[in-house]
């Protein structure tokens, strides 16, 4: 667990492209470091935090494209950068990497004090430390290369369980994972195709209809936006 500030890979304003808040204007704060090791990860540049990749916040805020560069910043410095950039979105998405490598309480409280709403996107493999009001989106990563277990406490805290699916095996894994766990009574259950391949998408559609769950489509990939 990281304890001194936050290692920020990038920060930008866009539209939330997936899950419960699809279509909502949002500021994304992507944090560096992840030990999960998902084979299909599209942000592998965030896995490590090499000292040679450290930059100023000014360089990070303007960078284009994926890179492993990062900056060290406190909650107050991140909020100050949000204000300096003149962002209008009041929905803050803290992602990664694996954001729960950090205690996120200070960062969430700092944004909430400004009237913003915070959401985190986590694998559930690290303890979730956020404000009570933070919306926790958990995409359980099961049997990944990093061999980290999805925590029961993270599943119980989740407001939304958004599960990546390519085959029936992934749905079976989810069923097994939550079979003996008491989730929040109003938790949003969503299936998200790992790829844009028709077979995976149709499997998710059929299962969501059968179970009255929600389909999460990565609309940002179809729209070619960040």
pLDDT tens for 106-116 read 999 999 999 99
pLDDT of residue 3: 45
The pTM assigned to this predicted structure is: 0.94
Binding positions: 15-17, 30, 34, 38, 40-43, 95, 97, 139-141
**Annotated binding-site positions for substrate:** 15-17, 30, 95
pLDDT at 4 over 70: no
pLDDT of residue 195: 74
Is 166 a residue whose pLDDT tops 60? yes
Q: Average pLDDT, stretch 151-163?
A: 98
Mean pLDDT for the stretch of residues 69-97: 98
Binding site for S-adenosyl-L-methionine: which residues?
40-42, 97, 139-141
pLDDT digits (tens, 9 = 90+) for 5-15: 999 999 999 99
| 3-state secondary structure labels for all residues of the chain | CECCCEEEEEEEEEECCCCCCCCCEEEEEEECCCCCCCCCCCCHHHCCCCHHHECCHHHHHHCCCCCCCEEEECHHHHHHHHHHHCCCCCEEEEECCCHHHECCHHHHHHHHCCCCEEEEEECCCCCCCCCCCCEEEECCCCCCCCCCCCCHHHHHHCCEEEEEECCHHHHHHHHHHHCCCCCCCCCEEEEEECCCCHHHHHHHHHHHHHHCCEECCCHHHHHCCC
Residue 54 has pLDDT above 60, yes or no: yes
Domains and CATH numbers, the chain: 6-223 (3.20.20.70)
The residue ranking higher by pLDDT, 145 or 77, is 77
Percent of the chain with pLDDT over 90: 84
Annotated binding-site positions for Mg(2+):
43
pLDDT band (50, 70, 90) for residue 226: low
């Amino acid at each position: 667990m990281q304890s001194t500030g936050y290692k920020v890979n990038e920060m930008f304003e866009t539209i939330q492209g997936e899950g419960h808040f699809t279509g909502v204007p949002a500021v994304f704060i992507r944090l560096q470091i992840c030990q999960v090791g998902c084979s299909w990860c599209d942000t592998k540049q965030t896995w490590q935090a090499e000292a040679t990749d450290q930059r100023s916040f000014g360089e990070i805020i303007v960078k284009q494209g994926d890179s492993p560069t990062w900056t060290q910043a406190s909650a107050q410095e991140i909020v100050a950068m949000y204000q300096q950039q003149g962002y209008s979105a009041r929905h803050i998405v803290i992602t990664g990497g694996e954001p729960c490598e950090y205690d996120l309480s200070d960062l969430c409280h700092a944004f909430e004090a400004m009237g913003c709403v915070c959401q985190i996107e986590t694998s559930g493999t690290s303890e979730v430390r956020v404000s009570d009001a933070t919306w926790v989106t958990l995409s359980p990563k099961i049997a990944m290369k990093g061999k980290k277990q999805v925590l029961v406490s993270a599943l119980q805290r989740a407001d939304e369980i958004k599960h990546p699916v390519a085959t029936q095996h992934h749905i079976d894994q989810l069923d097994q994972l939550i079979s003996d766990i008491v989730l929040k009574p109003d938790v949003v259950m969503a299936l998200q195709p790992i790829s844009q391949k028709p077979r995976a998408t149709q499997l998710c559609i059929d299962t969501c209809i059968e179970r009255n769950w929600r389909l999460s489509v990565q609309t940002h990939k179809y729209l070619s936006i960040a």
